[in-house]
Amino acid sequence: MTRALVLFAHPVPDSFNAAVHRTVVETLRTRGWQVDDCDLNAEGFYPVLTEAERRGYHDSPANLDPVRPYVERLQRAEALVMVFPVWNFGYPAILKGFIDRVFLPDVSFHLVNGKVRPGLTNIKKLAACTTYGGTRLRALLTGDPPRKCVTRHIWYACGRPPQKYVALYDMNRNQAPQLSAHLARVKREMEAL
């Protein structure tokens, strides 16, 4: 049985992004996966890296203490699925804060002879399901930072596993047929993960 950590980062429980999240979780559970459904907003995750945490950032293993339960959940996972909206061509603050606070030295990376090496090699599959208010062209013109963060930074930290990036662009102008088609696509991609 594959263990998946689903990181969900949208504050509105009846949003379209929440529908994407439900589709991800239901599809993985239907496949028989063990799903750790981490709704960062519902869990009240505190996203701000404090002064004390920053000062102790490289002091492993003491750096884990403020976020140890989240580190343990991440380290138990064999798959990581991130579900989030793209706001201002970036992650929502709560997801960015999760990465800042939980993707720590000796968790998401190791420094070996001054070089960064992947630390989350327990992650064998990586996926992101996201929605953009802007068009794909606008995302390309800005460099599409969320896509690059997932498909480069997170992917490398996880030891370069197979990955999927499932995005719906132009969210503000999509109608019911496009939204339904996207949920069907999310379901297919999770069935194939």
pLDDT 10s per residue in the chain (193 long)? 899 999 999 999 999 999 999 999 999 999 999 999 999 999 999 999 999 999 999 999 999 999 999 999 999 999 999 999 999 999 999 999 999 999 999 999 998 998 999 999 999 999 999 999 999 999 999 999 999 999 999 999 999 999 999 999 999 899 999 999 999 999 999 999 9
pLDDT at residue 175, rounded to an integer? 94
- Strand ranges (E), 75-132: 79-86, 109-112, 115-118, 125-132
The answer to whether the beta carbons of residues 58 and 28 sit under 8 Å apart is no
Q: From residue 75, how far is each of 12, 59, 69, 187 by CA, in Å? A: 28, 19, 10, 25
pLDDT at residue 114, rounded to an integer? 87
Instruction: List, in order, residues 6 or more apart from 185 with CB less than 8 Å away.
Output: 166
Count CB atoms within 10 A of the CB of residue 32.
8
Helix (H) or strand (E) holding 140: helix 136-141
Helix (H) or strand (E) holding 155: helix 155-157
pTM, two decimals, is 0.95
The CATH H-level (homologous superfamily) assignment of domain 3-192 is: Flavodoxin domain (3.40.50.360)
pLDDT at residue 163, rounded to an integer? 95
Distance CA 4, CA 35 (A): 5
**Strand pairing of 3-8 and 79-86?**
parallel
Distance CA 70, CA 76 (A): 10
Helix (H) or strand (E) holding 38: strand 34-39
Domain chopping of the chain, boundaries: 3-192
The answer to whether the beta carbons of residues 127 and 103 sit under 8 Å apart is no
Instruction: List, in order, residues 6 or more apart from 188 with CB less than 8 Å away.
Output: none
Strand partners, 80: 5, 126
